[in-house]
């Protein structure tokens, strides 16, 4: 029986450590049954930190003028792609701010080159873009699109994610995900855990929506305050009586990862960099033991990494891509898991429950 929204909420409210451990164990079992022991590595290329939006939580928002801005060249991107092939990754994820200097034909040509010259799956995470652009990239061969809806609470969403000029104040991301699915993309989404103003009730609704949208990939990570943002420097807003603010500590994120696995057993779920930032020693492993089956190592050229600062003190900014991969591979193998091969798209159950 799938968990109802009410049961999800009860799990989020649970305080008994032994019960929480039962949830983690159940999520680990479901992960093994449905997606197996392979941990898929997706090489993340942070293509640009230029952004036209004003998201209240994000350090690369347009009005942060303390940040040096960059956009990789086609050649720099293709060097990262070659690195992904060399390290044996099955997928590259091209992520950026909402940078309209990333023009559709330019990106389409890069996608075509990657698809022609490598066996890699291509995932895009370029924010809210027009249907025409998304179609162009799909036709060029892009396989997947990641777009977190961040929160299903309409009021909270609008307060942290102001509309673009000409847009109505709504969460357009949910509609865009549905259109992306119709275009033939595998779709990924997710939320931040512990945004100021996020209640346990609204987080339970987010997790129920993961299932309703039948998402192929789901990323959840803790909200990490950035001092150069309105949310990072503001005190927490009061909540209606009876509502409880979601904690952004790592424990709550593991719980959300585990519940996500329970409601979307076949999904690809990363143990996120934000989690590893909160707990550099064990965060990735604990995510992988509580429902996750994907890691997204950074392939961005080292000289640009400090500038893709969506939140402060991101891990792994001081390593080369090879060092980073080797370290992660050893950690995965030490857990008795193996590094996945091939593109690692959405899988069907590997054995009966
Ligand atoms: N421009 C793209 C990519 C954004 S970065 C887009 O908007 O989809 C990817 C994700 O990082 C965001 O969706 C958000 O969930 C997360 N993120 C941004 N700022 C963060 C912060 N301060 N703490 C934790 N996660 C953050």
Q: How far apart are CA 48 and CA 70, in angstroms?
A: 6
pTM of the model: 0.96
Ligand 1 touching residue 58 (CB < 6 A): yes
CA angle 148, 140, 79 (to 5 degrees): 80
Q: How far away, in angstroms, is 327 Cα from ligand 1 center?
A: 25
> Per-residue b/e over 4-21, b at no fewer than 16 CB within 10 Å?
ebebbbebbeeeeeeebe
Q: What pLDDT does residue 73 have?
A: 98
Mutate to test the pocket of ligand 1, among 42, 148, 231 (most ligand atoms within 8 A of CB): 148
Q: Is the CB of 97 under 6 A from ligand 1?
A: yes
- The DSSP code sequence of 169-186 is SS-HHHHHHHHHHHTT-E
Closest CA to 36 of 343, 276, 265: 265
Determine the Cα–Cα distance for residues 223 and 198; give it in Å rounded to an integer: 11
Q: Is 95 in the pocket of ligand 1 (CB under 6 A)?
A: yes
Residue identifier of the C-alpha nearest atom 2 of ligand 1 = 127
State how far the Cα of 311 lies from the Cα of 58, in Å rounded to an integer. Answer: 7
Residue 298 C-alpha from the chain's centroid = 13
Give residue 341's pLDDT: 86
What pLDDT is attached to residue 348?
54
Q: How far away, in angstroms, is 323 Cα from ligand 1 center?
A: 25
**Spacing, Cα 18 to ligand 1 middle (Å):** 32
Predicted local confidence at residue 100, as pLDDT:
97
* Interior/surface letters 134-163, b for 16+ CB within 10 angstroms, e for the rest: bebbbebebbbbbbbbbbbbeebbebbbbe
* CB 228, CB 56: distance < 8 Å: no
DSSP characters over 16-39: -HHHHHHHHHHHHHHHHHHH-SEE
229 phi and psi, to 5 degrees? -125, 155
Residue nearest to atom 10 of ligand 1 (CA): 148
Q: Could you tell me which of 147, 221, 141, 143 has the C-alpha nearest to residue 178? A: 147
pLDDT, averaged per 10 consecutive residues of the chain (353 residues), comes to 93 98 98 96 97 97 97 98 96 98 98 98 98 98 98 95 94 96 98 96 98 96 95 81 95 98 98 93 96 96 94 75 89 95 73 43
187, 310, 311, 315, best to mutate for ligand 1 pocket (most atoms within 8 Å of CB): 310
Q: What is the rounded distance in angstroms from the CA atom of residue 227 to the CA atom of residue 186?
A: 34
* 45, 48, 50, 58, best to mutate for ligand 1 pocket (most atoms within 8 Å of CB): 58
99 CB within 6 A, ligand 1: no
3-class secondary-structure state, position 250: helix
């Amino acid at each position: 029986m799938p968990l109802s929204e009410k049961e999800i909420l009860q799990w989020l409210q649970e305080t008994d450590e032994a019960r929480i451990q039962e949830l983690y164990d159940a999520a680990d079992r479901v992960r093994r049954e449905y997606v197996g022991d392979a941990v898929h590595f997706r090489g993340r290329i942070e293509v640009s930190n230029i952004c036209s939006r004003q998201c209240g939580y994000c350090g690369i928002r347009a009005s942060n003028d303390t940040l040096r801005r960059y956009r990789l060249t086609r050649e720099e991107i293709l060097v990262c792609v070659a690195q992904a092939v060399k390290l044996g990754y099955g997928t590259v994820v091209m992520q950026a701010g909402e940078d309209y200097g990333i023009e559709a034909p330019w990106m389409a040509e890069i996608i075509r080159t990657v698809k022609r010259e490598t066996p890699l799956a291509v995932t895009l995470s370029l924010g809210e873009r027009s249907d025409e652009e998304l179609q162009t990239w799909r036709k060029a061969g892009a396989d997947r699109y990641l777009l977190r809806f961040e929160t299903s609470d309409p009021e909270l969403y609008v307060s942290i994610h102001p509309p673009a000029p000409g847009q109505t104040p709504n969460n357009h991301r949910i509609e865009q995900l549905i259109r992306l699915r119709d275009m033939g993309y595998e779709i990924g989404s997710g939320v931040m855990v512990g945004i100021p103003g996020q209640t346990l009730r609204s987080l339970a609704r987010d997790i129920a929506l993961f299932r309703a949208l039948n998402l192929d990939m789901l990323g959840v990570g803790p909200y990490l305050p950035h001092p150069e943002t309105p949310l990072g420097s503001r005190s927490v807003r009061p909540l209606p009586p009876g509502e409880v603010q979601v904690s952004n500590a790592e424990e709550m994120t593991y719980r959300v990862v585990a519940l996500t696995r329970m409601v979307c057993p076949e999904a690809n779920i990363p143990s996120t960099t934000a989690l590893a930032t909160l707990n550099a020693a064990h965060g990735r492993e604990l995510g992988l033991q509580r429902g996750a089956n994907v890691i997204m190592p950074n392939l961005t050229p080292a000289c640009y990494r400090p500038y893709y600062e969506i939140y402060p003190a991101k891990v792994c900014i001081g390593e080369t891509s090879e060092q980073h991969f080797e370290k992660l591979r050893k950690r995965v193998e030490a857990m008795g898991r193996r590094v996945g091969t091939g593109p690692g798209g959405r899988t069907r159950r590997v054995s009966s429950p």
